């Protein structure tokens, strides 16, 4: 039994996330965690909310609540939605935790001791009306290049020109609308990432495969789990080499809400009233989350998962994230880990994803365009969404959600292939043999061929899951479902029964065992449907099928079962049209 540490990119606290956010990190991470548990491995699956920074303060102010209260409420909302989508976190933590505060300050002290932090005097825009320094994106004005009147302090969205706040004509605060702004001197801490450029380059290049493989015309990643996807390494190397290469990065901000800047438990002269930048403390929460897990009484010895001197040298650590998070996880966070000089566990594999677009455009949180997690669960159970999102995961390129494709996938894959098989088999058996696995007959040539085909199919499924190829895994699983349907059509027990009830009994016995097998294999993708199938088969045996022939004899003659309700209801054209209009760009 191997030990696997799994983390997914932690979602920001301000608001409910859309399906594109879900499929970019948390959902595929859950798929992998469930699969590994099913194979008998020990898994620690961690996630948390990312709670610090200006957006949290502004969202709280908009809601008319203290920021700590707002974050606590939104943590509960996101935790409930995670449960609704059956995300099987071992712990869902908070970056505002006491554990993360202490650990962030500890890392800062270690980096200071190593000479990897320097103080920088700089000027930033200060708003008198707001009583605060403003991040560049919270300043708007007229672009000096194109005249667009809503250019941000860092970039004009109209002409894409990179800007500084001082470049803007008539700048104003997006928080208060005030134009009473001035540039003020301030002092901040910078992480000397440039000093670690060579070490980071060597580490990243060690994760690259010199050549790629081609399978069915598609470039795929190599067998070796230590090699990262091309999407991950290409983004990391781009940041290392573009322009002047990896730059030093500010790790403090002039804000009220965040981890206070200290050297361990000691004050940091000149840094009074400042907090650590959210992208410094947020990744550290991955480690702190394990401490929270232990402190919550969910387990013990958290250090054995995170410190190589405490046993983590035998842990395989996998991160899941969207491509926009790759630079921070391949460069900034490793700078913190490596720069500390302490034996913390480094990530072994980073599974990164492209973007999921929505129905001819993009998801938009501000305009409410697309389906958000709470809305999705209002209209359909989580398995419907899990199946479509995972089977269309944006791995090699961006993918697009359309209602037509969603309807077709649910109706064909879930209702017609899997659901119909379960319904036909259980109802036919009940009508001819009762609600028990029938006795009589032996498995013949058709059954033996099916066992052989399934053995090959399951081996491929496991291989794709081990390599974290999400879409390919879904295709293999669907092929396993199809194989059962094709067998049922060829065997035709409803016809066989008229002439040879004994043979029909053997065919149905095999088919009932197939339902049990499908429940086990499908659990990582559609856990609720899996549980329904297991309950219908009156079984709590979730043993992974290392021997297909044995698995298809696990339910013996006389074993009682029940006919389940419809496993998956089809989506009608009327429903599809209603939902397409509802989620086209307005959110209450």
Tokens coding 536:
């219908």
156 assigned to a ligand binding site: yes
Residue range(s) in the chain whose domain bears CATH number 2.170.220.10: 117-187
Per-residue H/E/C for 320-384: EEEHHHHHHHHHHHHHHHHHCCCCECCCCEEEEECCEEECCECCECCCCECCEHHHHHHHCCHHH
Residue range(s) in the chain whose domain bears CATH number 1.10.730.10: 403-551
- Fold assignment, 3-115+192-353: Rossmann fold (3.40.50)
Give the model confidence (pLDDT) of 410-449 as tens digits.
999 999 999 999 999 999 999 999 999 999 889 999 999 9
Q: Whole-number mean pLDDT of the chain? A: 93
Q: How far apart are CA 108 and CA 117, in angstroms?
A: 8
- Look at 190-194, 301-305, 357-361 and tell me which has the smallest mean pLDDT: 357-361
Considering Cα of 196, then 3, then 285, then 242, what sign does the dihedral take?
positive
Residue range(s) in the chain whose domain bears CATH number 3.40.50.620: 3-115+192-353
What pLDDT score was predicted for residue 135? 81
Give the model confidence (pLDDT) of 187-224 as tens digits.
999 999 999 999 999 999 988 876 655 655 666 655 55
In angstroms, what CA-CA distances link 156 with 142, 159, 170, 381?
Answer: 9, 6, 14, 41
Q: How far apart are CA 532 and CA 418, in angstroms?
A: 12
Span 54-81, average pLDDT:
94
DSSP character string of 127-167: ETTTTEE--GGGEEEE-TTT--TTEESSB-TTT--B--GGG
| Biggest alpha carbon–alpha carbon distance for the chain | 92
Span 171-192, average pLDDT:
93
146 assigned to a ligand binding site: yes
Give the model confidence (pLDDT) of 367-385 as tens digits.
778 999 999 999 999 999 9
Please tell me the class of the 117-187 domain.
Answer: mainly beta
Q: How far apart are CA 529 and CA 417, in angstroms?
A: 13
The answer to whether 23 and 8 are in contact (CB under 8 A) is no
What pLDDT score was predicted for residue 588? 45
7 assigned to a ligand binding site: no
What pLDDT score was predicted for residue 208? 87
Whether pLDDT at 247 is above 60:
yes
Q: Is 403-551 in CATH node 1.20.950.20? A: no
What pLDDT score was predicted for residue 165? 87
Tokens coding 111:
């980096």
Please list the alpha-helical segments (H only) found in 467-563: 470-491, 493-499, 501-522, 527-536, 548-551
- Percent over 90 (pLDDT), the chain: 80
Helix-strand-coil split of the chain, %, nearest 5: 50, 15, 35
71 assigned to a ligand binding site: no
The single residue listed with the structure tokens 């920001």 is 12
Q: How far apart are CA 315 and CA 338, in angstroms?
A: 18
- Look at 197-211, 451-465, 565-579 and tell me which has the smallest mean pLDDT: 197-211
What pLDDT score was predicted for residue 587? 46
Query: Which residues are within 8 A (CB) of 234 and not within 5 positions of it... i.e. 6 or more apart?
Result: none
289 assigned to a ligand binding site: no
What pLDDT score was predicted for residue 417? 98
- Look at 168-182, 203-217, 526-540 and tell me which has the smallest mean pLDDT: 203-217
What pLDDT score was predicted for residue 67? 96
Whether pLDDT at 250 is above 50:
yes
Q: How far apart are CA 457 and CA 474, in angstroms?
A: 12
The answer to whether 317 and 306 are in contact (CB under 8 A) is no
Q: Give the residue with greater pLDDT, 82 vs 212.
A: 82
What pLDDT score was predicted for residue 211? 60
Give the model confidence (pLDDT) of 17-30 as tens digits.
999 999 999 999 99
Q: How far apart are CA 119 and CA 248, in angstroms?
A: 11
Tokens coding 250:
């500010």
């Amino acid at each position: 039994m191997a030990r696997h540490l799994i983390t997914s990119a932690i979602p920001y606290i301000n608001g409910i996330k859309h399906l594109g956010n879900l499929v970019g990190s948390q959902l595929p991470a859950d798929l992998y965690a469930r699969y590994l548990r099913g194979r008998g491995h020990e898994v620690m699956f961690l996630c948390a909310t990312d709670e610090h920074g200006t957006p949290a303060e502004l969202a709280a102010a908009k809601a008319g609540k203290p920021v700590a209260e707002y974050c606590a409420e939104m943590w509960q909302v996101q935790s409930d939605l995670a449960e609704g989508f059956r995300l099987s976190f071992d712990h869902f933590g908070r970056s505002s935790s006491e554990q993360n505060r202490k650990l962030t300050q500890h890392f800062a002290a270690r980096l200071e001791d190593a000479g990897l932090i320097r103080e920088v005097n700089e000027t930033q825009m200060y708003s008198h009306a707001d009583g605060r320094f403003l991040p560049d994106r919270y300043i708007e004005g007229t672009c000096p290049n194109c005249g667009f009147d809503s250019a941000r302090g860092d970039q004009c969205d109209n002409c894409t020109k990179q800007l500084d706040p001082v470049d803007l004509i008539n700048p104003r605060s997006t928080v208060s609308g005030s134009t009473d702004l001035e540039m003020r001197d301030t002092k901040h801490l910078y992480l000397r990432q440039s000093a670690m450029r060579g070490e980071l380059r060597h580490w990243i290049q060690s994760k690259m495969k010199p050549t790629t493989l081609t399978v069915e015309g598609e470039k795929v990643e190599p067998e070796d789990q230590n090699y990262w996807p091309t999407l991950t390494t290409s983004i990391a190397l781009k940041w290392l080499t573009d322009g002047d290469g990896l730059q030093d990065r500010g790790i403090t901000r002039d804000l009220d809400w965040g981890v206070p800047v200290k050297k361990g438990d000691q004050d940091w002269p000149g840094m009074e009233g400042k907090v650590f930048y959210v992208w410094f403390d947020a990744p550290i929460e991955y480690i702190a989350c394990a401490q929270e897990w232990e402190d919550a009484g969910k387990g013990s010895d958290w250090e054995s998962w995170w410190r190589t001197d405490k046993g983590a040298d035998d842990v395989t650590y996998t991160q899941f994230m969207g491509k926009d998070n790759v630079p921070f996880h391949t460069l900034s966070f490793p700078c913190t880990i490596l720069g500390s000089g302490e034996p913390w566990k480094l990530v072994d594999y980073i599974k990164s994803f492209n973007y999921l677009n929505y129905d001819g455009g993009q998801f938009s949180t501000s305009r409410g365009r697309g389906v958000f997690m709470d809305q999705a669960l209002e209209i359909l159970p989580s398995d419907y969404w899990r199946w479509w999102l995972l089977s269309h995961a944006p791995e090699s390129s961006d993918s697009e959600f359309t209602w037509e494709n969603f309807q077709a996938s649910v109706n064909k894959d879930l209702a017609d292939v899997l659901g119909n098989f379960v319904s036909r088999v259980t109802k036919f058996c009940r009508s001819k043999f009762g609600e028990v696995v029938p006795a009589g007959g032996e498995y013949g040539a058709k059954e033996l061929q099916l066992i052989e085909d399934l053995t090959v199919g399951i081996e491929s499924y496991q291989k794709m899951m081990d390599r974290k190829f999400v879409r390919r895994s879904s295709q293999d699983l669907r092929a396993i479902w199809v194989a059962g349907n094709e067998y049922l059509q060829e065997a035709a027990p409803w016809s066989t029964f008229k002439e040879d009830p004994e043979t029909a009994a053997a065919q149905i016995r095999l088919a009932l065992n197939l339902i049990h097998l499908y429940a086990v294999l499908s659990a990582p993708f559609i856990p609720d449907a899996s549980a329904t199938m297991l309950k219908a088969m009156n079984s709590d045996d979730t043993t992974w099928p290392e021997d297909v022939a044995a698995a298809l004899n696990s339910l013996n003659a006389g074993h009682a079962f029940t006919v389940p309700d419809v496993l998956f209801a089809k989506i009608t054209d009327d429903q599809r049209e209603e939902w397409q209009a509802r989620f086209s760009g307005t959110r209450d």
